[in-house]
Structure 1
Amino acid sequence: MPETKTLTARCHCRAVHFTLTIPTTSLPLDVHICNCTLCRTLLGAPASFHAPLPKEIEPEFIAPSSLDKLTPNRREGAPCTIYFCSTCGCHIGDRGHQGGWTISVSIFEEGVNDNESLWKFNEHWYTDAASTGDGGFSQLLPRIDGREVRIWNPDTTTDRSQKDEKKEDGGREEKLLAQCSCGGVSFNISRPRQEFVDSPLSEGWVHAEDPSKWLGLVDVCTDCRLVNGAHVVAWLFVSADHISPPLPEDLCIGTSKRYESSPGVVRTFCGRCGATVFFTEKRRGRIVDIATGILRGKEGFMLADWARWRTARLGYPDDGIKYDRGLTEGLTEGLQEWGRRTHGVVRDFAVGTETGAA
């Protein structure tokens, strides 16, 4: 019998729990980081982190977990069915594409640090202007462990693009659309209003140098990884009274479902396609974190007209280093490089109740 390696995956709520038993001859598994609009709006993340499994390999669910604990999502005409946890919204992967499973590599207990032979992050997919508007997440992660991550784009535009979302003129938009992949969750965000900027409520959520934008943060925390199913998430921090239609107290709009990931912390996701939507905690009042993967900025994924990004450091870097040191260090370096290239400076500031730079 060939030598094998058994990998264990769990979502945040642990309703989904399975193993993969893979011949060592099939390792490392090739991982692609997909920047396309479809993946972003399905997960709410900057990109998906997926690896095709050998066709004969399938998840082996550990009771009481089962495939029934997952919500299937299949778009009309799509070649595969996408699965996510019905309780916490964590994306697991998809089945049917090219005959087998393509799995999210971000939910396995076997982190990359001690198991470098498991995963090989090979390529960024769908980074072109038609798909991202500005290069997307690939701008922030050009290298892992000093190795360039290749770029792959199709020869022709596909339905993964956002070509119908391009800005037709140079004017500044006053509304930013947030919409998940299936459209079950959809709302608009307004720019910070002057009365909010002038009030104490804006402290830590709007920067004095540019109060027309909301603060943005790239995050590698463990909880977000296991709720979302991606190595990286990014958030735009917005006061709830700048969202229309008005946001209800329970944060559930359209097809949303709620999940309390820890005491006082509530997250929501689309119950139909699984996209992460909101994060909030009681001590923040009505400030909500909006997952940037569902934001349809016409200037591109990095929301140049809407977000003031912190580029000096990630959110919860220790979690990222513990799980995948090479990717986290590459992302930190790439984020800083992007800040210098785009704004001529690396910006650091504290968000909300954080302690840190001003």
Structure 2
Amino acid sequence: MSTASGTAFMKLSCHCGANSFSFPVVLPINKKYKSIRLCVCSDCRYQNGTLAGSFVPAPSVPFDPDSPPSGITVYRSSDIAARYFCSTCSCQLLFRQSLPELAKDEGNGFWIATGGLQLPSGEQFEVDAVNFVDCALDGGLASWLPSQSINKTLQANINVEDVSALEIAAKDIDNTDILEGKCHCGKVNIALSRPGQGENELPPKTWGDNTDLMVPYYTPREKQPPIVSENPWWIREEQVPGKGKRFLGGLCTCASCRTIAGVEVQSWIFVPTVCIKLKLPDGSVTEWPSREQLVTDERFENVIGTYQSTAGDPGVLRGYCKTCGANIFWDGLTRQGLIDISAGIFTHRGIREEAWIEWWTERVSYVEDAEGRHCIGQCLEQGLKDWKKRLGGHV
């Protein structure tokens, strides 16, 4: 913990740099400004596309809520809540509750989405609480905190035993033939069919380099496992015999995902594009569009915003809902017919859809990017292992 005194700044910025804010704070910084609240409510999951939002209270008012900067899109997720995201890169920046009791608060009801937030030098975030766990029928991201941490962080009088009970109860929810997902406003609707049903999902028609989730980026090429044509890493074995193969899913704490989603932990599903159907607002259903179509075809361009690669992400194209800002997909040049889709948009049944997704428990992707920022990445790595153990070693 920093022992400095005086005044410093908490600095908030998005990935593309179009929006930035500075919040003056007195040192040593008040604990509440560095104590992250993870939120697994349905609004946060559908609106940012991840399994949880992450927030700290704003120490001051960033702008007039009725007149936000021109580079910000405002989405009202309820009668009392407004969310502010970058119109260019989609980074979730701020959330505001317009409640009378917060009108005189120092931040006037504003909360900062922590993904793009930097604390003064020497300070580090910590997880203070996980809110609205009862909105996730299986415990959501809270299930993946280390067992010894759950009682300390969960709110609404939910403890580790309650979370375990939620996990067991969720197993009884019926399987589905199609996995449906949609953003908060409902303009982006995606339907997934089971993987492993056709040769188009196998190399060379569908291709992807080893993912950092399974093979750390620093692994020398000659030591990386080969891509097995008959059983590639993105197609996983069925959870229950007869229910069909699954997609691989995992968590990522890389700096790019963090500053584009605006949250500390992004959650992805790796999906062959032949398994994806996109329903447009006019009711028409189409195959997943090509990169070129997403950028130039107004049928898709009017609904899904795209953010092109930067120096830090060469060849990467990301997509988001233009209306509510939900992160939708990641597509890279090291892939062919295989994209990452944000897992949060598939949680409308309140579960992690384990009959469709094998959640990787051995690593959080780019966990090294979170070092010196907080311990959330390492906590989740341990928590995923604890979760797998609770389930008898089979997820």
TM-score (normalised: structure 2): 0.73
Instruction: Give me the whole-angstrom Cα distance separating, in 1, the residues matched to 2:353 and 2:301.
Output: 23
RMSD (CA atoms): 3.0
Question: What residue identity is the alignment partner of 1:342?
Answer: L
Could you say which residue in structure 1 is the equivalent of 2:123? 115
Could you say which residue in structure 2 is the equivalent of 1:335? 384
Q: Does 1:38 align with 2:17?
A: no
Instruction: Give me the whole-angstrom Cα distance separating, in 2, the residues matched to 1:327 and 1:339.
Output: 18
Residues 324-346 of structure 1: per-residue CA shift (max 9 Å, x gap): 2x22221111111112212525x
Could you say which residue in structure 1 is the equivalent of 2:250? 217
Could you say which residue in structure 2 is the equivalent of 1:249? 290
Question: What residue identity is the alignment partner of 1:206?
Answer: I
Instruction: Give me the whole-angstrom Cα distance separating, in 1, the residues matched to 2:186 and 2:247.
Output: 24
Structure 1 contact 41–179 (Cα < 8 Å) conserved: yes
Instruction: Give me the whole-angstrom Cα distance separating, in 2, the residues matched to 1:111 and 1:138.
Output: 28
Shift of 1:76: 5.0
Q: Does 1:271 align with 2:274?
A: no
Unaligned runs of 5+ in 1: 156-165, 348-358
Instruction: Give me the whole-angstrom Cα distance separating, in 2, the residues matched to 1:269 and 1:198.
Output: 24
Residues 152-189 of structure 1: per-residue CA shift (max 9 Å, x gap): 2399xxxxxxxxxx999854211111100011111111
Instruction: Give me the whole-angstrom Cα distance separating, in 2, the residues matched to 1:341 and 1:188.
Output: 31
Q: Does 1:83 align with 2:132?
A: no
What percent of counterpart residues are identical?
27
Structure 1 contact 18–60 (Cα < 8 Å) conserved: no
Computing the radius of gyration over CA atoms, which structure comes out larger, 1 or 2? Answer: 2
Question: What residue identity is the alignment partner of 2:378?
Answer: E
Instruction: Give me the whole-angstrom Cα distance separating, in 1, the residues matched to 2:24 and 2:276.
Output: 46
Instruction: Give me the whole-angstrom Cα distance separating, in 2, the residues matched to 1:143 and 1:22.
Output: 34
Could you say which residue in structure 1 is the equivalent of 2:226? none
Q: Does 1:27 align with 2:30?
A: yes
Could you say which residue in structure 1 is the equivalent of 2:268? 235
Distance 1:13 1:143, change over 3 A: farther
Question: What residue identity is the alignment partner of 1:249?
Answer: S
Distance 1:25 1:289, change over 3 A: same
Instruction: Give me the whole-angstrom Cα distance separating, in 2, the residues matched to 1:147 and 1:35.
Output: 14
Shift of 1:46: 1.2
Could you say which residue in structure 2 is the equivalent of 1:355? none
Could you say which residue in structure 2 is the equivalent of 1:354? none
Structure 1 contact 126–154 (Cα < 8 Å) conserved: no
Distance 1:170 1:127, change over 3 A: closer
Shift of 1:110: 3.0
Residues 111-152 of structure 1: per-residue CA shift (max 9 Å, x gap): 89x303xx4522111111xx11100001112479x6954212
Alignment: residue pair count: 320
Instruction: Give me the whole-angstrom Cα distance separating, in 1, the residues matched to 2:118 and 2:385.
Output: 29
What is the 5 A alignment of 1:1-358? 3-24=6-27, 27-28=30-31, 29=33, 30-54=35-59, 57-59=60-62, 67-75=69-77, 77=79, 79-97=80-98, 98-99=102-103, 100=108, 101-110=110-119, 114-116=122-124, 119-128=125-134, 131-142=135-146, 149-153=152-156, 171-196=174-199, 199-200=202-203, 201=206, 203-208=232-237, 212-244=245-277, 245=285, 246-250=287-291, 251=294, 252=300, 255-261=303-309, 262-296=313-347, 298=349, 300-324=350-374, 326-344=375-393
Unaligned runs of 5+ in 2: 159-168, 207-230, 278-284, 295-299
Residues 28-59 of structure 1: per-residue CA shift (max 9 Å, x gap): 124311001110111111111111224xx123
SS in 1 for 2:257: helix
Structure 2 contact 11–22 (Cα < 8 Å) conserved: yes
Structure 1 contact 133–301 (Cα < 8 Å) conserved: yes
Distance 1:327 1:169, change over 3 A: closer
Distance 1:341 1:218, change over 3 A: same
Structure 2 contact 10–120 (Cα < 8 Å) conserved: no
Structure 1 contact 127–152 (Cα < 8 Å) conserved: yes
Structure 1 contact 186–254 (Cα < 8 Å) conserved: no
Residues 186-224 of structure 1: per-residue CA shift (max 9 Å, x gap): 111111142248843462211356661001111111100
Question: What residue identity is the alignment partner of 1:151?
Answer: L
Instruction: Give me the whole-angstrom Cα distance separating, in 1, the residues matched to 2:133 and 2:150.
Output: 18
TM-score (normalised: structure 1): 0.80
